[in-house]
Amino acid sequence: MPKWAMVIDLDKCTGCQACVVACKEENNVPHGSPEEQRRRRDIYWNKVIAVTRGRYPRIRTELIPMPCMQCDDPPCVTVCPAKATYRREDGIVIQNYRRCIGCKYCMVACPYGARSFNFRKQDEKEYHRPDPPPDHHSREVWPFPVRIQGVVEKCTFCFHRIDRGIRERKKIGVEVVPACVEACPSCAMAFGDLDDPTSPVSNAFGSRTAFRLREELKTNPKVIYLPR
Amino acid sequence: MIFRFAGAFGTPNIVSGDGLDGESEKSGNWMADGHYEFSAYDLDQTQYLLLFGADLLESGRPLSHLLRKWGRIRRERPNRAKIVMVHPRYSVTAAKSDEWIPISPGTEGALAMGMAYVIIQERLYDKAFIERWTAGFENYRKVVFQYPLEQVSRITGIPSDTIQRLAREFAVTKPAIAMRGKGSLYLPGGSYNSYAIHCLNGLVGSIDVPGGVLYQEKPHYKALPSIVEDGIAKKGRGQPPVDFRGTERFPCARTVTNQVPESILEEIPYPTEMAIGFNCNFMMTAPSTKRWEEAMKKVPFYVHLSPFMNEMALYADLLLPVTTYLEEWGYDHSSHGAGFAEVRIKQPVVKPYGEAKSSMDILLMLAKKLGGSIEKSFASLGEDQERFVQFRTSSLMPWKDFLAKGVWVGPEYQYKKYDRIFKTPSKRFEFSSGNLETLFVKNGKRRDHRRDDRHRYDEVRFLGEKESYPLILHPYQPLMAFEHGSQNYPWAQEIYLPLHGIGWNTPVEIHSETARRLGIREGDEIWVESSFSKIKARAKCSEGLHPEVIAIPSGQGHYAYGRWQKGIGVNPNELIGVDFDRISGQSSYFNTRVKVYKA
């Protein structure tokens, strides 16, 4: 069984946020509004955050793209009372909207803030996209054509792309990658199988400088960063 | 096409937005090497990038090229180039660079001279290149020696040992590039800044070498037949243009965008009866926006072509919806990309919305309706946009292949074309500009000694008195406001400023120490007032800003343009006083003093 992982090279990253927009487009994640942003209720499956340290003129800001870390020991799965979130065999942590009771325990448990709660009413127009982009018609599954109010949602590593790629015997990580990886203009992101020693992610994982966020929590995230 | 239409119709008044957008870089290049165009850079092979206010990752152009190359420079080759950003504001580019050096606003030209001082004094310059392929070096050396390190350090606020280190790194790490950007160009003396910085490239021999400054190759499109002019067109074209380009006011300017409202309001050189706008929104993007509103009110008949209802569209007597880039045919080449020539065509991927037509089709139809010489000028170009693109690109490759590939790439770039690349009187790279000399002589300027230097740093004329307006306004363009065109996308709005995590709004960035002195806390509502106007917004205290600077992102503050952007944020361009770079006609943006107080 493969073990899917992502590498984000912060040295190559330009902070352009193409990954954020690509994710929203691919997964039909609704955009927010001024009011929602004020109340921190806007939904992101992937977001570029800024961490600033130091004082003028010695200041340093890291811009970090934050998808779900797809932990190998995910705290969100442990706390879920409804078994709505679970870890697939290939390591992807999935949220089952039908089982989710909207208790938000997982949002509290997640040390990376990767989860969002859907506060929006389902009948709002933006949820039902009458004009999905043309190539979506040709796709077998577009997993989220309509959205569900009152559940927690998060990044899926674009499992629908991977599953389809495997069915069509395509090379995952080369021909098929998540939407954010595909969109990155500076090629700062890579995707692949950690169990395959030739994949770019294994290569990066073996690098001296590679790190993962909050490693001390022993969540074993599968998003690997390379520092600037 | 628009130029052709203007020519056949008979108007000299074709004003592009270039006058807001980096004309002073072109004029600086023209002074040094005779090319009135943007420089291309060989980013693939460079080892050192010194950015003078060049926000490559936010407002740089061509943007997608730069984003890709940034990744390449960083970790796709064995040796990683060093990138240093000199800028009053800690931008995304500064955050992603190896070093950020805050500089007093508007003093980039002085820093360039100071660096040249160190390079010349320590004999680190490229002697072979300078001896064989440059002119005016002796004179340059004399001028540069008027800028000793301590003085430059005082002007720029950068410690002398930092300047010295920068100069040594820049001269020794080969190939190195000094790049200019909005921060150093959009100033009343932008051309001189641009020239001074470009001369650093000449000094270390980074001209037309791998990893240096390149001269963008142009594709050879199929030539257009010459315009058919009738008597009216000839007479019309002979009139002076409304933007005073090429006159004594703007001696080498090709377009002076921000002069137009004054010309319309004061009816100089003649009253304006009609105007057509092609997808422009100067009312938001040009400094001192109120004048544009008054001028547009005054124009008796205004036709606006645009895919969106922007502010200019509100003033239109006739509004023609045009297609977006995904709905039309077109061809394009990079104005300054990777050096080699390339052409790509765009093909429609979605059907136009409603009755929208492409600007090209509208012009062709208009020409047909007008008849006479105008119709003749457009007769053999193909009857619609697709045919026209086909006609223009027919010299490059067969249409069928073009449709399949979408791009044509020219021959590989040839380096070191020194014997034919310089278009200056001496046919060399000029440290003492012959082109500018000729221009001054032509305009009958007195040969005054200071002007004769050609290299100088003038203190920027900041508008407003220092006593009452102690801070300097620094408007900037975040990536999500790309060319002021993307605020009507909610996805762009919500992630507007990644450095601050702010969307749907315009914060006023203020240095935290300055804010403390003024009794302003994070999130307070404050007024920012210049001697021209004032705006109210919330304060964002920041460590990444020169203490004398107030930074405000542009792109918001619209009163039209659809529901995702109407009424959101403020527009810093309202505050700016009108001033120009006199040589190129570039509008200056960083020339206004402001004061800040609690609302």
The phi and psi torsions of B586 (rounded to 5 degrees) equal -65, 130
- The whole-number pLDDT of residue A221 equals 96
Greatest Cα pair distance in chain B: 69
Percent of all residues in chain B with a pLDDT value above 70, rounded to a whole number: 97
Q: Are A37 and B503 in contact (CB under 8 A)?
A: yes
| pLDDT exceeds 50 at position B450 | no
Rounded mean pLDDT, B55-71: 92
- The dihedral of CA A205, A208, A214, A220: what is its sign? positive
Token pair belonging to B546: 């020169």
Nearest residue of chain A to residue B349 (CA atoms): A134
CATH class of the domain comprising B471-598 = mainly beta
Q: How confident is the model at residue B453 (pLDDT cuts 50, 70, 90)?
A: low
Kindly report, residue by residue over B366-401, the tens digit of the pLDDT: 999 998 899 999 988 888 999 999 999 999 999 999
Greatest Cα pair distance in chain A: 54
Alpha carbon distance B300, A228 (integer Å) = 57
Which of B56, B85, B90, B494 is the best substitution to test chain A (most A C-beta atoms within 10 A)? B494
| pLDDT exceeds 80 at position B457 | no
Q: Which residues of A touch B159 (CB under 8 A)?
A: none
Give the torsion through C-alpha atoms of B56, B60, B62, B65, to 10 deg: 20
DSSP B159-176: -HHHHHHHHHHHHHSSSE
Least confident of A21-30, B101-110, B585-594: A21-30
Token pair belonging to B300: 């008796």
pTM of the model: 0.93
Least confident of A110-119, B48-57, B453-462, B525-534: B453-462
Token pair belonging to B52: 């003078």
Nearest residue of chain A to residue B91 (CA atoms): A61
| pLDDT exceeds 80 at position B563 | yes
Identify the helix (H) or strand (E) that includes residue B32. Answer: helix B23-33
| pLDDT exceeds 90 at position B72 | yes
Alpha carbon distance B494, B504 (integer Å) = 6
Alpha carbon distance B309, B321 (integer Å) = 9
Q: Are B596 and B552 in contact (CB under 8 A)?
A: no
Nearest residue of chain B to residue A56 (CA atoms): B543
Kindly report, residue by residue over A91-128, the tens digit of the pLDDT: 999 988 888 999 999 999 999 999 999 988 765 554 44
- Alpha helix (H) residue ranges in chain A: 18-27, 34-38, 75-79, 105-109, 134-138, 159-167, 179-183, 200-205
Identify the helix (H) or strand (E) that includes residue B132. Answer: helix B127-133
The strand pair at B274-278 and B99-101 is best described as unpaired
Q: How far apart are the CA of A185 and the nearest CA of chain B, in angstroms?
A: 5
Q: Among B88, B387, B356, B40, which residue's Cα sits nearest to residue B198? A: B40
A24 and chain B: CB distance < 8 Å anywhere?
A: yes
Rounded mean pLDDT, B307-316: 91
Q: Are A85 and A171 in contact (CB under 8 A)?
A: no
Please count the CA atoms within 13 angstroms of the CA of B173 that sit on its side-chain side: 22
Note whether B57 contacts A13, CB cutoff 8 Å. no
Mean pLDDT rounded to a whole number for chain B: 91
Token pair belonging to A171: 């090379």
Number of CB atoms found within 10 A of residue B228's CB: 16
Q: Among B361, B356, B352, which residue's Cα sits nearest to residue B388? A: B361
Alpha carbon distance B590, B92 (integer Å) = 19
Note whether B490 contacts A61, CB cutoff 8 Å. no
The strand pair at B48-52 and B330-332 is best described as unpaired
Q: Among A125, A139, A188, A152, which residue's Cα sits nearest to residue A41? A: A152
- The whole-number pLDDT of residue B484 equals 67
Q: Which residues of A touch B350 (CB under 8 A)?
A: 134
Q: How confident is the model at residue B448 (pLDDT cuts 50, 70, 90)?
A: very low
* Closest residue to B57, CB basis, from A11, A14, A57: A14
Nearest residue of chain A to residue B158 (CA atoms): A57
Note whether A226 contacts B75, CB cutoff 8 Å. yes
DSSP one-letter code for B421 = H
Chain A to chain B, count of Cβ pairs less than 8 Å apart? 115
Note whether A17 contacts B68, CB cutoff 8 Å. no
Domain ranges of chain B: 2-18+220-332+342-409, 38-213+422-452, 471-598
Q: How confident is the model at residue B473 (pLDDT cuts 50, 70, 90)?
A: very high
- The whole-number pLDDT of residue B229 equals 87
The phi and psi torsions of B393 (rounded to 5 degrees) equal -95, 5
Q: How confident is the model at residue B21 (pLDDT cuts 50, 70, 90)?
A: confident
Note whether A15 contacts B511, CB cutoff 8 Å. no
Q: Are B477 and B92 in contact (CB under 8 A)?
A: no
Return the residue matching tokens 């803030």. Answer: A113
Q: How far apart are the CA of B166 and the nearest CA of chain A, in angstroms?
A: 17
A193 and chain B: CB distance < 8 Å anywhere?
A: no
Kindly report, residue by residue over B500-534, the tens digit of the pLDDT: 999 999 999 999 999 999 999 999 999 999 999 99
Identify the helix (H) or strand (E) that includes residue A29. Answer: none
Task: Kindly list the structural domains of chain A, giving each domain's residue range(s) and its CATH number in brackets, ordered by start.
Answer: 4-226 (3.30.70.20)
Amino acid at B212: G
Nearest residue of chain A to residue B76 (CA atoms): A12
A41 and chain B: CB distance < 8 Å anywhere?
A: no
Return the residue matching tokens 């800044």. Answer: B193
Rounded mean pLDDT, B73-97: 94
Q: Which residues of A touch B49 (CB under 8 A)?
A: none
- The whole-number pLDDT of residue A175 equals 94
A50 and chain B: CB distance < 8 Å anywhere?
A: yes
- The whole-number pLDDT of residue A13 equals 96
Note whether B498 contacts A21, CB cutoff 8 Å. no
Least confident of A30-39, A119-128, B41-50, B560-569: A119-128
Contacts of residue B240, defined as CB under 8 A and 6 or more positions apart, other chains included, come to: B12, B247, B269
Kindly report, residue by residue over B236-250, the tens digit of the pLDDT: 988 999 999 888 888
Kindly report, residue by residue over B130-183, the tens digit of the pLDDT: 999 999 999 999 999 999 999 999 999 999 999 999 999 999 998 999 999 998
| pLDDT exceeds 80 at position A220 | yes
Identify the helix (H) or strand (E) that includes residue B3. Answer: helix B2-9
Q: How far apart are the CA of A21 and the nearest CA of chain B, in angstroms?
A: 6
Kindly report, residue by residue over B322-368, the tens digit of the pLDDT: 999 899 999 999 888 889 999 999 999 989 989 999 999 999 999 99
Rounded mean pLDDT, A58-83: 96
Rounded mean pLDDT, A147-170: 90
- The whole-number pLDDT of residue B104 equals 95
Q: How far apart are the CA of B370 and the nearest CA of chain A, in angstroms?
A: 39
Q: How confident is the model at residue B546 (pLDDT cuts 50, 70, 90)?
A: very high
A200 and chain B: CB distance < 8 Å anywhere?
A: no
Q: Give the burial string for B266-302 (b: 16+ CB within 10 Å, else e).
A: eeeeeebeebbbbbbbbbbbbbbbebbbebbeebeeb
Q: Are B28 and B157 in contact (CB under 8 A)?
A: no
Q: Among B29, B300, B359, B376, which residue's Cα sits nearest to residue B185? A: B29
Q: How far apart are the CA of A98 and the nearest CA of chain B, in angstroms?
A: 27
* Closest residue to B92, CB basis, from A15, A21, A226: A15
- The whole-number pLDDT of residue A133 equals 45
| pLDDT exceeds 80 at position A60 | yes
Which of B496, B504, B556 is the best substitution to test chain A (most A C-beta atoms within 10 A)? B504
Alpha carbon distance B450, A148 (integer Å) = 71
- The whole-number pLDDT of residue B80 equals 92
Measure the CA angle with vertex B289, ends B254 and B58; round to 5°: 70
Alpha carbon distance B147, B154 (integer Å) = 11
Q: Which residues pair with B345 in a beta bridge?
A: B331
Nearest residue of chain A to residue B56 (CA atoms): A14
Nearest residue of chain A to residue B103 (CA atoms): A57
* Closest residue to B70, CB basis, from A14, A49, A228: A14
Identify the helix (H) or strand (E) that includes residue B478. Answer: none
Rounded mean pLDDT, A204-217: 93
Note whether B96 contacts A63, CB cutoff 8 Å. yes
Percent of all residues in chain B with a pLDDT value above 90, rounded to a whole number: 76
Rounded mean pLDDT, B574-599: 93
A113 and chain B: CB distance < 8 Å anywhere?
A: no
Token pair belonging to B67: 């984003």
Token pair belonging to A24: 């929203």
Nearest residue of chain B to residue A61 (CA atoms): B95
Q: Which residues of B touch A (CB under 8 A)?
A: 57, 64, 67-68, 70-72, 74-76, 80, 90, 92, 95-96, 100-102, 349-350, 479-480, 490-495, 498-501, 503-505, 511-513, 543-545, 547, 568
Note whether A186 contacts B67, CB cutoff 8 Å. yes
Token pair belonging to B36: 């009135």
Q: How far apart are the CA of A81 and the nearest CA of chain B, in angstroms?
A: 33
The separation between CA B524 and the C-alpha centre of its own chain, rounded to angstroms, equals 33
| pLDDT exceeds 70 at position B452 | no
Nearest residue of chain A to residue B58 (CA atoms): A16
CA distances from B78 to B75, B466, B504 (A): 7, 50, 41
Which of B49, B57, B96 is the best substitution to test chain A (most A C-beta atoms within 10 A)? B96
- The whole-number pLDDT of residue A122 equals 62
- The whole-number pLDDT of residue A144 equals 62
Q: At what angle do helices B385-392 and B359-370 cross, to 10 degrees?
A: 100
Through-space distance between the first and last CA atoms of chain B, rounded to whole angstroms: 49
Q: Which residues of B touch A14 (CB under 8 A)?
A: 57, 67, 70-71, 92, 96
A102 and chain B: CB distance < 8 Å anywhere?
A: no
Q: Which CATH number fits domain B2-18+220-332+342-409: 3.40.50.720, 3.10.129.10, 3.40.50.740, 3.40.50.2300?
A: 3.40.50.740
Note whether B492 contacts A21, CB cutoff 8 Å. yes
* Closest residue to A12, CB basis, from B74, B480, B492: B74
Note whether B100 contacts A59, CB cutoff 8 Å. yes
Note whether A15 contacts B495, CB cutoff 8 Å. no
E strand segments, chain A: 4-9, 47-55, 58-66, 85-87, 93-95, 116-117, 152-153, 189-193, 223-226
Contacts of residue B34, defined as CB under 8 A and 6 or more positions apart, other chains included, come to: B422, B423, B424, B435
Mean pLDDT rounded to a whole number for chain A: 89
Question: Can you tell me the ipTM of this complex?
Answer: 0.91
Domain B38-213+422-452, what architecture? Answer: 3-Layer(aba) Sandwich (3.40)
The phi and psi torsions of B240 (rounded to 5 degrees) equal -70, 145
| pLDDT exceeds 60 at position B54 | yes
